[in-house]
Structure 1
Amino acid sequence: MMFKTRFLPLFVLLFCIQVYAHPGFRQITFSDQEGAVINVAVWYPTSSQGITEDVGENPAFTGVTVIRDALPTPGLHPLLVLSHGYNGNWRNLSWIAVAMAAQGYIVAAPDHPGTTTFNQNPAQAKKLWRRPQDISQVIDLMTKSPRLFGETDKGRIAALGHSLGGWTVMELAGARFDAARFAKDCLQQPLRGDCNVMQKLSIDEVPSQEKLSASYEDQRIRAVVSLDLGFAPGFTPQSMHGINIPVLILAAQMDSLANLSASQESGYLANEIGSRWGKYEIIEGATHFSFMQLCKAGAEALINEGSPGDGIVCQDGNGINRYNIHQKLVAKISAFLNSSLDFHSPADETK
């Protein structure tokens, strides 16, 4: 009996890996209300044993292993929607996508027009309010496409975002942005990373301020995860006091690398939301870029060759391995989401 009890957790882990060893994967596109094309990557549970391939890989970054266009597993699945950072893309958060798909989640990640690696159109970048709307439209698409991705459990929908993506998902949670408040704060902190892109995103222009002050809350979302977000000082305290869904706020310990102060960004968010709904933690050894995908050996130098200075995205804390950071993050994020959504993965059925 002691032998069985001692090794049960290992058996449960192996069972989960066996059921969803590699997620299904599809890429789709749709046009938003203004005609902008949005590319979406989707990972989802499958029991298929098809041909695997690595997606999201390039000379600098590692990819993740999937089964393209596999049949989805029957039954209801929670939905997690991801939002990348400024000029990032769906590949940046693929490490958490495959981990959550392995637990039974459908995971969808759009490329936000104007602020993605592959579309940096200045006019679209200035429509920052479109970002949370992108996520809401992706939720619409996922819930209407059970044959492609599996059936979404509409009572178990969550959103996760990194950097500007963190700002995006907080908008969806009910936080309201005051552009004038943010601009005033930047007068005191002109070198802060998010203040440096204020003009590029048109935050200091009156027409944008009116749009940004509106509510983009999506009440279908039941939990939110913010990874080292930016632009937090623009959120009004009143709106954050009104948030009534669980929020996990994770910040980088090495915040100076991207000039995003944990105390002024994630810390401010946590203080205003309060401990009833907010859970705040600083990730030891993590930089702002540790929340992105894994870099290959020599990637920093390779990136700097083509774009001097951008190799910083491969830097973590001294002696810290990004893979290990990701493993810790996966444990924290999955535990939070499973608890907040009251979801039990298929492996739990063996306990």
Structure 2
Amino acid sequence: MKAQPVSGPHRTTAWLAALAFAGLGLLLAAPARAATGLTELPGLAGDGPVTVFYPSSASEQPLRRGPFTLNLAPQGEPVRGNGRLVVISHGSGGNPWVHADLASALVEAGFVVAVPQHRGDHTGAFTDPGPTSWQRRPGEVSRAIDALAQSPRFAAWLALDRVGVYGGSAGGHTALTLAGGRWSAARFRDHCEAHIAEDFSSCVGFTTRLRGNVLDPIKLALARAVIRWRFDDASWQSHHDPRIQAAVASVPFAADFDMDSLRVPRIALGLVVAGRDVNQVPRFHVGAVRAACGPCVVIADLPEASHGAMLSPLPPFPPGSLEHDLLGDPPGFDRAMLPEVDRQIAGFFLRHLPAAP
């Protein structure tokens, strides 16, 4: 039987099938997604190590780091991405591994990601949290950029005229400083004098909580006395690094900032908000930045999230522990949304740090 030309709806169906087949062929021909490589560089000027995540041609494998099993390619051969660097400033007592999911999303978007260890305020040494660390952190970020610039393995792959910074909690404080904000230890003291009962964890850290019992007045009195004694320096703290051109501040400590300095940040500034944050109560911190900063972009507003929402993977906090109370997921928060939040953060950096030529 002689074949008949395809016409009418059958012709349309055949055309769609051909298009789908061609699209499948292109998909199969496309290069595979780069793996997330992992290495560590020595810090400069006595700093701790800089953990680096990067696009790699090697295969990922399960890798144990602390309580986490992560799929990474340790010491894998680097491949070219988009030529841009994002530095992640971890939170108080933090480490690179609680940001591994965000780092992998950034690597998938083409970025190299560097995580400096903040001296005296990381998992292995929690001796100088708060204003003492906040004063050092921006310089540690700048030197992490220098470490990548001096690395034979990465210098040729990166253009460091436009660098991004992501920070959460104390790292968010770092991001706000690098965006042009100025702050002082005395403003930290003044905030705690006025609002310590409402924002207790911000003022005392991960040591204790108010429990509504007879010990609360003692905790408040002791905390106020220590804060008055330690934090009376009214000099403004700031840090300018012209290479940094975009920043994301996630659930930042921000009550000690001069909000006028953040009304028009010197760079693109994105925010991540957690509505049920009891560690940095939003109205004193990220909410105040949001109200002051006209150009700021709210990348994610997560009304059911706690302070630890963007820690991903989340550490296995024991139920009932202080860490679980302050950082654990509240009932009703769905972590399945986090990969999309990570992609939105990567998209923010892609818009403001265009690929290097």
Task: Specify the TM-score bucket, using the shorter chain as the normaliser.
Answer: 0.7 to 0.9
1:348 aligns with none
Rounded to whole Å, the distance in 2 between the matches of 1:149 and 1:66 is 21
Match of residue 88, structure 2, among 82, 88, 113: 82
CA RMSD across the alignment: 3.3
CA separation of 1:203/1:271 partners in 2, compared to 1, >3 Å: closer, same or farther? Answer: farther
> Is contact 1:136-1:218 (8 Å) kept?
yes
1:216-260: CA deviations, max 9, x gaps?
Answer: 121211110111111x1211123213413111111112123x2x2
Rounded to whole Å, the distance in 1 between the matches of 2:225 and 2:84 is 36
2:276 equivalent to 1:254: yes
Match of residue 227, structure 1, among 244, 250, 271: 250
2:204 aligns with 196
Instruction: Report deviation, 1:148.
Output: 4.5
1:126 aligns with 132
1:300 aligns with 317
CA separation of 1:185/1:57 partners in 2, compared to 1, >3 Å: closer, same or farther? Answer: closer
2:191 aligns with 185
Match of residue 340, structure 2, among 319, 322, 328: 328
Rounded to whole Å, the distance in 1 between the matches of 2:293 and 2:89 is 21
> Is contact 1:84-1:161 (8 Å) kept?
yes
Name stretches of at least 5 consecutive residues in structure 2 with no aligned partner: 1-14, 206-222
1:240 aligns with 262
CA separation of 1:201/1:130 partners in 2, compared to 1, >3 Å: closer, same or farther? Answer: farther
Rounded to whole Å, the distance in 1 between the matches of 2:21 and 2:284 is 44
CA separation of 1:214/1:12 partners in 2, compared to 1, >3 Å: closer, same or farther? Answer: farther
Aligned residues: 322
Name stretches of at least 5 consecutive residues in structure 1 with no aligned partner: 345-351
The structure with more radius of gyration: 2
Instruction: Report deviation, 1:287.
Output: 0.9
Q: Which amino acid aligns with 1:246?
A: A
> Is contact 1:113-1:125 (8 Å) kept?
no
Match of residue 52, structure 1, among 45, 50, 61: 61
Instruction: Report deviation, 1:181.
Output: 2.5
Pairwise mapping of residues 1-351 of structure 1 onto structure 2 (< 5 A)? 4=19, 15=30, 18-20=32-34, 22-32=35-45, 35=46, 37-49=47-59, 52-58=61-67, 62-74=68-80, 77-122=83-128, 126-148=132-154, 151-191=157-197, 192=199, 193-197=201-205, 205=230, 209-210=234-235, 213-230=236-253, 232-256=254-278, 258=279, 260-274=280-294, 276-279=295-298, 281-295=300-314, 299-301=316-318, 308-312=321-325, 315-322=328-335, 324-343=336-355
Identity between Structure 1 and Structure 2 (%): 23
Rounded to whole Å, the distance in 2 between the matches of 1:209 and 1:39 is 32
Q: Which amino acid aligns with 1:235?
A: F
CA separation of 1:55/1:44 partners in 2, compared to 1, >3 Å: closer, same or farther? Answer: farther
Q: Structure 2 length normalisation: TM-score?
A: 0.79
Q: Which amino acid aligns with 1:318?
A: P
Q: Which amino acid aligns with 1:42?
A: V
1:349 aligns with none
Instruction: Report deviation, 1:315.
Output: 2.3
Rounded to whole Å, the distance in 1 between the matches of 2:229 and 2:28 is 50
Instruction: Report deviation, 1:64.
Output: 2.4
Instruction: Report deviation, 1:48.
Output: 2.8
After alignment, is 235-244 or 146-155 more displaced? 146-155
> Is contact 1:202-1:208 (8 Å) kept?
no
